[in-house]
Chain A
Amino acid sequence: MRILISILRKEFIQIFRNRVMLPYIFVAPIVMMVVLVFAANLDMKEIKFFVVDKDLSAVSRKLTADFTGSSFFKFKGSGFDLREAEEKIIKREADLVIHFQRGFEEHLRKEGESSVQLLINAINATKAGLINVYSEGIIRDFNQDIRLEWLGIESFDQIQNIDITHTFWYNPELNYKIFMLPGILVILVTVIGMFLSALNLVMEKELGTAEQINVTPIRKFHFIIGKLLPFWVIALFDLAFGLILSKIFFHLPILGNPLLLFGFAGVYLLVVLGLGLFLSTLADTQQQVMFLAFFFLLTFILMSGIFTPVESMPNWAQNVNIVNPIAYFMKVIRMILLKGSTFRDISHEFFAMMVYASLTLSLAVWRYRKIS
């Protein structure tokens, strides 16, 4: 036991004197909070639109006005030349061109139907999809207004209508930061737990001091605990630090029990540390560790549901996620923070993590012993 304490003391001293690691531990959370949160906004802001109105009727003008009045759209000008409008799309001055053909209103009155053409820059498929959906929404509402106006209330009654109201729970302001912040916290914890621990182990390997330990009464497991435990502590500390920052500066809701979050994080970290240990046995230099970790993290973070929903992934990918610990934490942290989930709600994920923790740690330790 005294041996363990000696080792831990030494490790902590070395970590805090290590100029390479310190920025990751203290500066990274701040930078991530600030930059990532502000930059990482997949929200749709103003959709720039240009109008080619060859009809110039009351209806086309009103519909245009409805678009202008919407907070999602920004009016960028109008013209008569479709070619000119297309160029605006190429030059990225407009995301959308609304094209009313001549006779739009007349056709609607006489034939009972008419169409509006929407030219959308679809390079960003997601954005294009959203533009289409929002535009359709505005047109649909406008359509109802027109019907009401032209038919009069009595005749309108003859047609059935379903009144649909919608509410947004857990993020009523549709603030993207609320979604991103937990994700960033997950990245933070994972990077410290996996990347820094692996880096530390490899640094020791490079220095050659690891062999020194073999002559002393230090057993392998002392050594391993000494190398991993500090990062367990540091990661949890950074999680707390990040949470506090998020709460103060971004008003991140913390509906659930923070202790539950830390409990889960503690177990999650065991998995991640195991992976870090395993990673260190695969690399000989710091550079290799960096790239291996980058590779691994990039893949699993993207698949974890941080930016895009897990359900949107193809089934085979969702199956792969069963062994992706990051996906679990990503889900759980959002559940606890944003929805106030309790232990019962996350028990499945919790036990999965415990199983994985024992698996990865055993595997990693086994491999580590073999290699050295």
Chain B
Amino acid sequence: MPAVEDIIIVRDMVKKFGKFTANDHLTFSVRKGEIFGFLGANGAGKTTALRILCGLSYPTSGEIKIAGYNVYKDREKIKKTIGYMSQKFSLYENLTIAENIKFYAGIYGLRRKVIDARTSELLDKLGISSIRNRLIRDIPLGWKQKLAFSVAVFHNPSIVFLDEPTGGVDPITRRQFWEMINESAEQGITVFVTTHYMDEAEYCHRVSIMVDGRIAALDTPGKLKESFNSKDMNGVFLTLARSKRMNAV
């Protein structure tokens, strides 16, 4: 098999908040162009790990490399090559669609002409050209979500981090959203996504499941279902969660 480079390398990452260990010696890698799902229950430590990977917080210890850059020393370089979409969708409510795009694109250093061209392209594709001057406040949730993702990858980052991006939207929109993720992955953008919707795990190339700050399982969805003898990822997760409880007892 040809060596596919690992674009995210994490070894023994620890994050402690006082006495509480949120991330307990995490070790994993993400390959370039992969859709990597970071699953786990609420409070398992997913968001904490994601925040460290995109530079929002410092790890307590551990070796972390993003796109070849060291997370301790080369933060600014990392920021230029990644994209991010948060739970709150990160678009400014009192700015229009066009203004939001222009702002973020400008931040990442794109030139005017490039921005204009890509914006038209994007809006056409999403079918929202006619409302490019509408305030974000006034557009429905599903469109906001898709738009937020598009903005996150607008500057063609090497990795895009998505933090629980599909909260509160209907299943059809969720489907469409994942189609967009697939498209980006096909274009070579690595997607690192956290979620607690277990069915979305099926869409990922590989998936890791966090339980109590540790990675309890990491593999492709298919192989996981096999090992845990389960029809779907939901079952995998429940088995893991139950076994943890049993271990505790």
Contacts and interface: CB of A to CB of B under 8 A. Distances in A.
Interface of A: 2-3, 5-7, 9-10, 13-14, 17-18, 207-209, 211-212, 214-219
A216 B105 CA distance: 11
Given A14-B94, A17-B94, A211 B106 contact: no
B102 A6 contact: yes
Most chain B CB inside 10 Å of its own CB: which residue of A2, A5, A13, A217: A217
A216 B93 CA distance: 18
A227 to B, nearest CB: 14
Given A13-B95, A214-B56, A215-B55, A6 B86 contact: no
Given A211-B56, A217-B80, A6 B92 contact: no
Given A10-B92, A17-B94, A212-B86, A217 B99 contact: no
A216 B108 contact: yes
A10 B102 CA distance: 9
A212 to B, nearest CB: 5
B54 A217 contact: no
11 contacts: A3-B106, A3-B107, A5-B106, A6-B106, A7-B103, A10-B99, A215-B54, A215-B84, A216-B107, A217-B108, A218-B107
Contact of B109 (A2, A13, A214, A219): A2
A5 B84 CA distance: 21
Interface in B68-107: 76, 79-80, 82, 84, 86, 88, 90, 92-95, 99, 102-104, 106-107
Interface of B: 54-56, 76, 79-80, 82, 84, 86, 88, 90, 92-95, 99, 102-104, 106-109, 161
Nearest to B77: A217
Contacts of B80: 217
A200 to B, nearest CB: 12
Given A3-B106, A6-B107, A13-B95, A217 B76 contact: yes
Contacts of B103: 6-7, 9-10
Contacts of B92: 10, 14, 209
Contacts of A7: 103, 107
A180 B161 CA distance: 57
B150 to A, nearest CB: 16
Contact of A208 (B88, B95, B99, B107): B88
A215 B107 CA distance: 11
A3 B55 CA distance: 19
A216 B54 CA distance: 9
Contacts of A9: 102-103, 106
A216 B94 contact: no
B90 A10 contact: no
Contacts of B102: 6, 9
B95 A10 contact: yes
A211 B85 CA distance: 11
A5 B80 CA distance: 17
A298 B242 CA distance: 62
Contacts of B107: 3, 6-7, 216-218
A6 B112 CA distance: 11
B87 to A, nearest CB: 10
B95 A215 contact: no
Contacts of B99: 10, 13
Identify the 6 closest CB pairs spanning chains A and B, nearest first: A6-B106, A215-B84, A212-B90, A10-B103, A217-B79, A17-B94
